[in-house]
Structure 1
Amino acid sequence: MAYGFARFEIPWKKFWFATLITTMLLPSTVLLIPQYLMFREMGMLNSYMPLYLPLAFATQGFFVFMLIQFLRGVPRDMEEAAQIDGCNSIQVLWYVVVPILKPAIISVALFQFMWSMNDFIGPLIYVYSVDKYPIALALKMSIDVTEGAPWNEILAMASISILPSIIVFFLAQRYFVQGVTSSGIKG
């Protein structure tokens, strides 16, 4: 979607881009009831699909906007050279643009991973079996408000819960730093 916005002249492009930006202004809780009804009709409640399906279709306007801004800083010269060499739009995207965008795509993937790891309201709404709770929700549910909290267990679970995020960040740190630093380079 970002490549289409950044590189192609489409009818009503400014209107659709403004609509994309406007969706970023909506609080995510506004979309919860329609999404819940949709996923209920699809029979996907009490599974992880309502949590992962929107991520697969780039429904977060912020990430599309981030990739559009990154693409605007990439010169079109290499794309034009690939087209002269006989590449169609899909080949230009796959063989020229995606390698250039790799740091930005990995940055978006890291941000999305962190947001989904820290999501509390989504699993609370869509997942109702205790054995399927993600770690953030299980951590919250382990705190009993009527009795004293077992802080040793809570802190141990909190320490374990941040391990996937730390491991993923350190594995992709090189690309993340590349994406952040190269996003300001002009062609």
Structure 2
Amino acid sequence: MSPKLKLLVYAVLLVCCVPFVFPTWWMATTSLKPVNEIFAFPPTLWPSDATFEAYRQVFALQPFGQQYLNSFYIAVLVTLGTLVVSSLAGYAFARIPFRGSGVVFVLVLAGLLVPNEVTIIPLYRMFDGLGLVNTHWPLILIPVLGAPSVLATFIMRQFFITLPRELEEAGRVDGLGRFGLFWQVSLPLAKPAIGAVSIFTFLHSWNLFLEPIVFLSSKDKFTIPQALTQYVDAYGGALWNVQLAAATLSALPVLIVFVLAQRQFVEGLAQTGLKG
């Protein structure tokens, strides 16, 4: 490719990325503006008098640090739990033949067709009967045993199917049992799929909104998406600079995960047959 053509390609890509980058830029810079400058016309791309007062209010108005920690540890536990369930289930569907396995797998995938809004009421009654309302257990158990885990199981199954059976046959010659074949042969080779599952599971848990507003009522137990709705004035109006400051802080883990792991995510989906 000639230098001129390469420069043209870079210019086109730069223009195409503006609609995706600009909202993030606007959110971050507007969080540094005083309230009267947010709605100024014409709008400014950089605050004329930058201030971090909105970030101070983020932590002063409610326990945002605790809420941040809540979202983080819940996302980590959900990711680990989903990896355990999906890797075992995906391996079983891919490598352990049993009668009706295809029908069972279709029934499992059918769980993806059921909206969360349909099951939220019976789930609430179940967790209320167990005394787990206003705790983080529903936010951990529902994703691990629900639709996110079903999609993760599908991805892991698709990957395990692509592994050559000769690898397991060699493991059997070495005396490995079924779990040994899974743990020592198949799972170490599934790093791309594990990376893809880890990324989308973490992000799904981090952005979870419906379940927190249904199951949680104490501010110290809130997660980030629920906490963002609480920055309002005495009349219920939005504190725009404070909300944008909190949103900027909440977007940092998402941006970091995307920048550091986008290649692993794409590679994992490509190797599981989901590219296109």
Question: Does the pair score TM above 0.5?
Answer: yes
Q: 1:39-54 alignment to 2 at 5 Å?
A: 39-54=127-142
- Once the two structures are TM-superposed, the CA of residue 138 in structure 1 deviates from its matched residue by 0.9
Q: Which entry has the higher C-alpha Rg, 1 or 2?
A: 2
Q: Name the residue aligned to 2:158.
A: 69
How far apart, in 1, do the equivalents of 2:243 and 2:217 lie? Answer: 21
Which shows bigger deviation, 101-110 or 120-129? 101-110
Q: Name the residue aligned to 1:157.
A: 246
How far apart, in 2, do the equivalents of 1:127 and 1:56 lie? Answer: 18
Contact 1:58 1:64 in 2 (8 A): no
Calculate percent identity across the aligned residue pairs: 38
Aligned partner letter, 1:136: P
How far apart, in 2, do the equivalents of 1:8 and 1:26 lie? Answer: 27
Q: 1:124-135 alignment to 2 at 5 Å?
A: 124-135=213-224
Shift of the 114–183 alpha-carbon distance from structure 1 to 2, 3 Å rule, reads: same
Q: Name the residue aligned to 1:22.
A: 110
SS in 2 for 1:47: coil
Q: Name the residue aligned to 1:166.
A: 255
Q: Is 1:183 aligned with 2:259?
A: no
- Once the two structures are TM-superposed, the CA of residue 69 in structure 1 deviates from its matched residue by 1.4
Shift of the 145–67 alpha-carbon distance from structure 1 to 2, 3 Å rule, reads: farther
Which shows bigger deviation, 166-175 or 98-107? 166-175
Q: Name the residue aligned to 1:87.
A: 176
Q: Name the residue aligned to 2:121.
A: 33
Contact 2:155 2:272 in 1 (8 A): no
- Once the two structures are TM-superposed, the CA of residue 159 in structure 1 deviates from its matched residue by 0.3
> 1:106-158: CA deviations, max 9, x gaps?
21111111111111101001111122111111112224594543221111110
Contact 2:111 2:146 in 1 (8 A): no
Aligned partner letter, 1:178: E
Q: Name the residue aligned to 1:105.
A: 194
| TM-align CA RMSD | 2.2
Aligned partner letter, 1:31: T
Contact 1:24 1:61 in 2 (8 A): yes
How far apart, in 2, do the equivalents of 1:147 and 1:30 lie? Answer: 29
How far apart, in 2, do the equivalents of 1:9 and 1:130 lie? Answer: 48
Q: Structure 1: give runs of 5+ residues left out of the alignment.
A: none
> 1:37-69: CA deviations, max 9, x gaps?
221122111111110123444653211112111
Q: Is 1:137 aligned with 2:226?
A: yes
How far apart, in 1, do the equivalents of 2:152 and 2:164 lie? Answer: 20
SS in 2 for 1:141: coil
- Once the two structures are TM-superposed, the CA of residue 79 in structure 1 deviates from its matched residue by 1.2
How far apart, in 2, do the equivalents of 1:50 and 1:89 lie? Answer: 32
Match of 1:7 among 88, 91, 95: 95
Contact 2:94 2:161 in 1 (8 A): yes
SS in 1 for 2:176: coil
Q: Name the residue aligned to 2:45.
A: none
How far apart, in 1, do the equivalents of 2:121 and 2:146 lie? Answer: 19
Contact 2:156 2:194 in 1 (8 A): yes
How far apart, in 2, do the equivalents of 1:29 and 1:148 lie? Answer: 27
How far apart, in 2, do the equivalents of 1:110 and 1:21 lie? Answer: 20
Query: When the two structures are superposed, what TM-score results if normalisation uses the length of structure 1?
Result: 0.88
How far apart, in 2, do the equivalents of 1:171 and 1:98 lie? Answer: 22
